[in-house]
Amino acid sequence: MRNTLIHGLAAALLLAAPLAWGQSAAVQDNIPKQALDATAAPTTLADLSKDQPVTAKHAMVVSAQHLATEVGVDILKRGGNAVDAAVAVGYALAVVHPCCGNIGGGGFMLIHLAHGKDVFLDFREKAPLKAGPTIFQDDKGNVVPGKSTGTYLGVGVPGTVMGMDEALRKYGHLSRQQVIAPAIRLAKQGFVLQQGDVNILGERTKDFQKYPNVGAIFLKDGQPYRVGDRLVQPQLAKTLEEISKDGTKAFYHGDIARRVVAASEANGGLLTMKDFADYTVKWDTPIKCGYRGYTVVSDPPPSSGGVTVCQILKLLEPYPLKDWGYGSARALHFTIEAERRAFADRNNYLGDPAFVKNPIDVLLSDKHIDQLRSTIDPDKATPSTQIKGSLGATEGMDTTSYAVVDKHGNAVSVTYTINYLFGVGQIAGDTGFFLNNEMDDFTSKPGVPNTFGLVQGKANQVEGGKRPLSSMSPSIVLKDGKLFMVTGSPGGSTIITTVMQSITNVIDYGMNMQQAVNAPRMHHQWYPDAVIYEPGLFTDAVKKELEGMGYKFKQVQSWGADEAILRSPKTGLLEGANDRRRPSGLAAGY
């Protein structure tokens, strides 16, 4: 497997000159910079060939911020299991990675237990009970730009605190006080900012300057922080102390909820105390599918991630990607066409299962997959106008991901989000945490693109108490029932293809875990009908060939941040890989 990658990289290097690190990249028109972090420098195939993962014998933690990873490893060394560490990392990221780590948003946790059981926890945000299908439209039915992303109408009921509490209660060994203590310490004492931290904070300087309570914390004398500065968050420390003491009671029934509701009411939002009191999390059965002898375990609706990742992989399984080679025109052509068809189904048929029937069995059936595959022309691109949701008429990031494996073989993959970098960009009073703008993940109006350009249908329309459809895809790959890989990424709609490519990079192209997450990416989501890609993936010859087949391209410097762990079948060691796109992140173990 390793030789496949080396030969593929060597061939590509003969055709492609190294990319300059300062090379500019055109940003995709329909994704604003606040929503998709593109601050990482591109890579080259020469650099990729030298990438090596961190290895450990017993346990591993990988996250987008080094201090959060260190918190997780310490919890594991002190006798905590993978769930204890995952909860501790989740709270730590809320402090040291505030763009994306959160207690003001929600997400998904996928757990593989060492004895073989797989479980999924949904702590996705819910729409306020007063919300309805037209809340982001004017009186003429037109979607109002920014209403779902920059106002309190975009804020859903946060789920992270209840999700972490529930996971810890059911599968953890340590107390809530033990796992939150490191986050409280980091908030009180502060932490020294590295270049990666400063890069992300700088993305929303102008927004921080609009709100005095935000600027007082996340700006230094009204200006952006610099490398070496210390970020202290005493208000967040107080909020975390309240949660540490009283758990969900403090967050959903106490003064924290009252302050968020008061801010919402004062700013035209819809949140009420009843919304907080009625919030629930849900345990569910993961989505599973086979791929080349492996079992992919991922998340069910209200995530579209598991279904769509599995659809893409099932569509690709008959094709000899390994023989065609990484970055080849033929492998890219069939991968893009698989993505195009899977996203058409995703955008038309999936939604919160409490509100709509998700035809998962049909979408993943061999008959349906074969029918989709039969429409792929081997020699040219299929225009998205010719691809419809294929079951007939429908009935009426930024994000962060992290992975933990403990010494017992338990594994946890978590992806949680506040949507944009720093969510709605606002903090309710002195609570200290950013609120999400997750309502933008709903269909503001059928046929009208959301922030990530997704054109969705009625199944995902806004309804009170409903969870918005998500692209989050925390995933675990098993081989003969045993842990093989843990993977997940931020990046809005690009999460699905990032996770899918991390899997195929290992299984098909023989990459080690570090190469798999660092490799340049591409993405197609049905509409807009264009392939977005990172520098370093296409040689000039391959791009020209694909353009001749009818493809259109948009270059984006970078997206996503796959944080992944692989159990090496050769050595038995854990390979931890922090994505190069999060330079402040860390893979560490023991």
Active site residues: 399
Question: What single-letter DSSP state applies at residue 23?
Answer: -
- Strand-pair category, 564-567 with 482-487: antiparallel
Contact between 466 and 354 (Cβ < 8 Å): yes
HEC string for 205-246: HHHHHHCHHHHHHHCECCECCCCCCEECCHHHHHHHHHHHHH
Look at the block and give the residue holding tokens 């959060």. Answer: 68
HEC string for 66-108: HHHHHHHHHHHHCCCCHHHHHHHHHHHHHHHCCCCCCCCCEEE
Structure tokens at 415: 């992806």
Structure tokens at 432: 């200290």
Strand partners, 576: 54, 565
Structure tokens at 264: 């919402």
Strand partners, 401: 415
CA distance 222 to 399: 26
Burial class (CB in 10 A: 0-12, 13-18, 19+), 129: middle
Residue 8 main-chain phi, psi, to 5 deg: -65, -40
CA distance 88 to 183: 8
Question: What single-letter DSSP state applies at residue 373?
Answer: H
Look at the block and give the residue holding tokens 């569910």. Answer: 284
Neighbours of 72 (CB within 10 A): 35
- The alpha carbon of residue 544 and the mean position of all alpha carbons in its chain are separated, in whole angstroms, by 31
Ranges of H-type helices in 458-557: 494-507, 513-518, 540-548
CA distance 413 to 298: 9
CA distance 4 to 13: 14
Contact between 421 and 105 (Cβ < 8 Å): no
